Structures are given as structure tokens and as C-alpha cells.
Structure 1
């Protein structure tokens, strides 16, 4: 086998973490061009690391060699969430996944659609009536928060506003622990971000444990009844499910969906997506391909192995970069172009080449639920509104961490339309069909 292109540098001095986290997409593009390949090495988090930017390499890393490349037990996710199916390895991860899968079956998700529709109606119905352009990322993040807390904790914003706001604030503080230096320091009048995040986690756990003990219906009751390995597993997973991860991912994808369909030349795309649930499916696949909400994921090599035809020593890190993988020209022709039709043509049936929410045996367990959230929100927007950038000229340059979205929050104006009348009822038919259509993977 061949030696990995690039250099792993030397301890501390050769570390490229700052450069990577400043702009991970540019970091990888420069090295792909320099090494003329989509698998290379550098030093990240002071560890020699393989960067995987091809579909083939991603599939090898996450599917074929998932038992060799393991989750890092020392990363911040473990500190902030404990032992969950996201942070554990081996048999423990498999058993947790088996137990929790029943929460996200198609049958289970059917019962959530009415609730999701009601939240979309309440949060999105007045977008055209406020007399001003909307900061869409903020609108969609609030939508995601209400969906997550209502579904997973039985807490409705309109019924328990004070508790709802407390949890929102705690979740925000907790999230900052994932993107701050892991320094637990507290002195009079000041606490580190990580220390504040740990305090927020403890308070959230108190609320969660109360729900698990006292709620007799809904998600907390179902989760509490599952055969999990220990008494803390239910509360730790519920903390994971209500975290900022889902609202931010939903806000990221809905923002990208809204922006790419805001141009005048996309009017026909919006019309087709309104009338045809299969076409809406391809639009959402293409949005996910071009603007994945998360940059990727990291693993550690448990033994000497190979990846993409290159030798990878034991102890090396491996990080897959979803943005680059989704634009691999060997798989996706015109990789930088928004072409929903590719998913009913050349790339039909290749949804499993995407890795926005992981891939293989360790992919996100809640992907289908996120699909329900996305489709309900998109169908509501398409049936109710036309929209455009306001002002028309805005800097839509994306930042990619901690989630992908334009660095300058974009603003959009919505105009209400009644497609159920103008289209002879097709919009309502499309709504029904999308609710029962295929899931985005």
C-alpha cells in the first residue's frame, strides 16, 4: 500500500487545528488540489489524521471498516452527554441502538406528524403579515426548538412558557460546551464556557429525570419503559435528543432550502416541488448534498489498516468531510450545481452516498424523524408562500462550523398565496402525498 499524501507534522508545532476550524472547506480544497487526491493526512487536535473527502473513502471508513475506526472516547461529546449511542463503541453501542430503534420506526413516526403540522402552522403562518423581512435561520431554529421540546419532553411553548424558556436557555448554554475549550474553571464573578455548560447540563438532567419519573404518556414514558443497560441511559439519551443539535440541523437545512429556491429562476422548481412529492424529495436531497448541516465526523484507528488505498497506522485519527464528499466529481457530475434532477437520473438510488447524518451502521438514529420535520415545514412553506431575498443583494457566503449557514444572517420576504385554490387542490393533494412519501436518507 502507498504512503498517505501530505504530512502529519510534529507534536504541537505542526498542528493545523486552528487553520481547519477557521475554514474547513478551504482547508480541504487546498489540499485536494495540492495532493491531487481526496484522501490525505495532516495534524488535527494534535493527532496525525486522515482526511476523507471522497465517497469511496467515506463508505470504506463508515461502513466497511466501522469496527476498526472507532469513536474517540475522550472527545467533548462524551463529556457533555455521557455514554450514549453517539459516543460508545462496540457491543455497547449496538445494544443501545437496538433498544432505541423502536422509538423511530415508521409506525412511531406516523403519530408525530399531526403534532409537527400543528407547530409548523403556529410558527410559520404569519411570515407574510409582519411587514418586514425575516431572519430565516432564527425563525427555523425556533421552529426546531418547539418541535424537539414538544415531542421529546411534552413541553409546549404556549402551555408552559416559563419552563420552555428556561430549557431553551439551558440548551443554549449546554451547546456552547461543545464549541468551547474544555476548561472547567469557576471563580467569583466569572465561569468558563465549559463550566457554565456543565452546570446547564446538571439542571437539564434534573428536569429530564423528573419527566422520566412522572410523565405517563408520550416520548418520556416510552423511553423510560425501554430495556436499557443502566438507570442513567434513558436520561442521557433524552439529553442528547433535546440538545441544540436537531434544531440547528433543521434550521440549517431549511435556510438553505429557502435561499436556493428564492431566486426568480427557481419559480418553476417551487411549483414542481409543491405539486410533486417525488420532486420535493429530490430537491431536499440536493439541498442536503450541497449544504450538509454538519461538516463531518471523527474516528480513531484501533489497529493498523488501510483507507483509500493508503496505509493508516494504529492511533491515527480519521475525519470525513461531508461537504467535500458530497461534491466528489467521480460520483456527482457538475458537483457544485443545484440539480435536483440528478436524483432521478444518474444518481438515482444513491442516497446512501450522502453522509450529512453519518453513514453505515453508526448513522444518526433520528434521520427519519428529521425527514418528517423537514418535509412538513417545506410543504407548509411551498403551499402558503412565495418568497425572495430582501434586500435582493446579500452576502450569502457560508460558514461551516458549528453548523452550515451564511455567515451574515440572510433575510427573506414572504408573500402569501393560496395554491389550494389556484392549483385546483393540487397543493393539498401534494401535502397528503409528501406526508406519506419516501424518507430522505
Structure 2
């Protein structure tokens, strides 16, 4: 090979890349958000995971733009919107729902992994909002209360110290499977819990599918969970078809989901039902367990907050306003989820920049929850922020906002209030290790699982 040909082979690909980048950055004079896309293919995903979303977001806002910056996460060019106005913009209908392919590879069947979120959840959004409305959830309060009592009696009573995070994960997992699918067998739940944990751990890990990596374990765990769900769904469908009194079986979410039809009168396939219900299970488990854990952490750290809590009957649960304000302040300071993702279906403009069609978009709790302009003295735990009208619109967004606000918000609220009620009416809480560190990756995690000393109330 001649020296000149060798040089040409090196330079030509670089020239092509430069032309493509220039075309992308200068298409029709387009001013795209500033930022960095990191390494080829990997982008900045590793930095995002290792530094944690809060630090990742704040560093890039300072360096590039306080309103919107570009990065590359999960193999996609992405605009990250910041501040209340950024949140408001993303919550509009100008952007459509989107999830990383890596997430879909873990959660859904392979043949659906490349489908859009809209295709995967075709008839679900309206259905979920309907069955998770406050009035529809009233019937589940006794079930939640009974399961919380059983959990506390079996896992908390008789112990001087408990590790809160693993216990809340197990409780919210059991409750989700009971509420959504009426799965109550302890051995069955224990087998599912192990695989479900692998699956959720792999959701937002570095997407490298190699043996031993969290992502690989997540994919394998997802395969097992989906297989178990198919068995449950198939059995339930058969029971409903054979039953002459099908209405008696239609008490949980799965039974109602089996009856849902699209605009053409077609029922969903068992795989489609699995794809949809697994999202409910994840939402009812991962973020809720984290929210409960950190609410109890702050109650243990702040006795004056603990002493203000109500001791109410369940007929009066809607009046547990102070307790919910405490939970909201915990969600503000330590949000269990980073935010969400969208996709630009057309070129859109924001804050003087243009986000090209096909780019992905992200909104994040970390650009407002600790912003002193949104929440004065932001590091102070102060439930009174949520009294009256509460925070300004689009500043407190643990459940998203706008027409796509999380439909499970009310379910989470009831689940959290019921659990906290059953804890604080039995025990006074103290942190076993006041110096325990918090690990911040995609979600916050107490390094030791939050060991708390529980002191039973004297009668």
C-alpha cells in the first residue's frame, strides 16, 4: 500500500465525519443547544451513571446553558430541558413519549423492543387513568392496610433495628403483584422478586450486554419475569372464559385489562398485556419503595416533623395533609426518579435553540427541586412549602406534569400514606448510623439500606 493511499484511507473518513457534523450543526442555519456528545456510541451514558443525574445536570447547566443543553445518552442524541419553563415545554404535546431501547430490551418482549412507546402501550393510557382515579382506588385501601399490618407484624415487630430499603422493596413488590394480579403465594412471590430485582437494576445501567454486567442480568431477569407473567395471564384468561360469573373474577387490574378492547373491538394479546402490566408493576415497586424509604429517613432525622403527624382512621385518609406534605418535601429533596424522556417528531424551538426532528428530549427533577429561586433555602426540610397553593407550577415534578402526568400518582400516594401510618403509629424512629452515606446513581440509595432503630410506643 502506498504512503498516499494510506493517508487517504485515514483522512477520508474524518472528512466525511466533519461534513456530516457541519451539516447537522448548520442545517438551514439551525442553532442547536450547546453541549457534548462524549464518546462515539457510548456518548455520556457512563458519566451520567457514575456521577449521578443531579451532578451531571448541574455541571452541564453551568458549562453550556441554564435552559437546555445537548448530550448523548443511551445511544441517542438528546436535548436536556431545564428549569420550570423547560419542564413545562416538555410536558406539552409538541414532543411524544419515548424510552431508551435499552430499557425496552429489559422490560418488553424482543419483538416489541424496537416499537415506539405509543405502539407498546396502544390502549393503556386512558385505561390506566380510569382505574387509578382516586374514587376507583378507595376499594384498595383496606387491602393496602391489611398487607401493611401483616408486613409490619412479620418483618418489624420484635426487632430493635431494621433495614428499611430492602423491607420496603419487598413490601411494595408484594403489594403491586397482589393489587395488579392477585398473586399472593409467598414462594411464587419470592422467586419472582429475585428476578424482578435483577430486571429493575438493569433498567438504567450502562447498556453493555456482556455476561456479568447489570444490563445483561436485567435482560435475563426480564425474560424470566415475562415468562411468569404470561403463565398468570394465560391462566386468568382461561378462567374468565370458562366462568359463568366472570364479574366475580374482575376485581384486580389484570382482570379488567383482559376485558379492554381497542377501537376495532380487538382484545390485546397476552404479550401485549404483559408489556403493559409490567410497567405498572415497576412503577408500583421501584420508585415507591425509594419514596417510602426516604420519607422514613427524614422522619427519623427530624423528631419535630415526626411529632406533627396525624393519627387518623382510614375513613379520614384524605385529611392526612401534613403527612403528605412531609412526603412531598422528601420527594423534593430526594426524588426517587430522575425524570423522563420524549422525542421530537418535528423541529421544535426553545430558549433560542432548535431541537431537530428525531432528537430525544429529557426533563429532570434536578433542575428545579433544589433551585433557590423555586424553593428558598432549598436544603432545608420544610413541609410547609406545600401548604396553600404550594410550589409554583412546573417546579415540583416528581410525577411529571401536564397531560402526561404519571397516572399512578394517586396509587403511590395511598400506598405511601398507608405504609407510613402503620409505621409511625407503632414506633418512634431513630437512625442507627447517622453518618450513613447516600449513593446517587440513577436513583438515590442509602449505602447500608437505611438501618433504623425502632422503639415501640408505650401504651
Q: TM-score range by the shorter chain?
A: 0.7 to 0.9
Q: Is 2:135 the partner of 1:107? A: yes
Shift of residue 368, structure 1, vs aligned partner: 0.8
Q: Match of 2:61? A: 32
CA contact (8 A) 2:102 2:203 kept: no
Find 2:190's aligned residue among 162, 165, 170: 165
Equivalent residues in 2 for 1:147-186 (5 A)? 147-156=175-184, 160-179=185-204
Find 1:302's aligned residue among 345, 348, 356: 345
Q: Is 2:82 the partner of 1:42? A: no
The answer for unaligned runs of 5 or more in structure 1 is: 422-441
TM-score w.r.t. the length of structure 1 is: 0.81
**Cα distance in 2 between the residues matched to 1:80 and 1:231:** 16
Find 1:96's aligned residue among 124, 137, 145: 124
Aligned CA distance change for structure 1 residues 227 and 22 (closer, same or farther; 3 Å): same
Q: Match of 2:40? A: 12
Q: Match of 2:10? A: none
Equivalent residues in 2 for 1:286-365 (5 A)? 286-344=329-387, 348=390, 350=392, 353-365=395-407
**Cα distance in 1 between the residues matched to 2:420 and 2:30:** 47
Shift of residue 331, structure 1, vs aligned partner: 2.1
CA contact (8 A) 2:339 2:398 kept: yes
Shift of residue 13, structure 1, vs aligned partner: 7.7
**Cα distance in 1 between the residues matched to 2:381 and 2:153:** 28
Aligned CA distance change for structure 1 residues 153 and 376 (closer, same or farther; 3 Å): same
Aligned CA distance change for structure 1 residues 50 and 214 (closer, same or farther; 3 Å): same
Q: Match of 1:380? A: 422
Aligned CA distance change for structure 1 residues 398 and 73 (closer, same or farther; 3 Å): closer
**Cα distance in 2 between the residues matched to 1:350 and 1:213:** 50
Q: Match of 2:164? A: 136
SS state at 1:326 partner: coil
The number of equivalent residue pairs is: 403
The answer for unaligned runs of 5 or more in structure 2 is: 1-28, 241-248, 312-318
Shift of residue 221, structure 1, vs aligned partner: 2.0
Q: Is 2:101 the partner of 1:59? A: no
Q: Match of 2:257? A: 223
RMSD: 3.2
SS state at 1:169 partner: helix
Aligned CA distance change for structure 1 residues 129 and 104 (closer, same or farther; 3 Å): closer
Aligned CA distance change for structure 1 residues 73 and 296 (closer, same or farther; 3 Å): closer
Shift of residue 136, structure 1, vs aligned partner: 0.5
TM-score w.r.t. the length of structure 2 is: 0.78
**Cα distance in 2 between the residues matched to 1:3 and 1:411:** 50
SS state at 1:226 partner: coil
Aligned CA distance change for structure 1 residues 57 and 94 (closer, same or farther; 3 Å): farther
Shift of residue 236, structure 1, vs aligned partner: 2.6
Find 2:230's aligned residue among 199, 205, 228: 205
Q: Match of 2:13? A: none
Aligned CA distance change for structure 1 residues 199 and 387 (closer, same or farther; 3 Å): same
Q: Is 2:436 the partner of 1:395? A: yes
Shift of residue 78, structure 1, vs aligned partner: 6.1
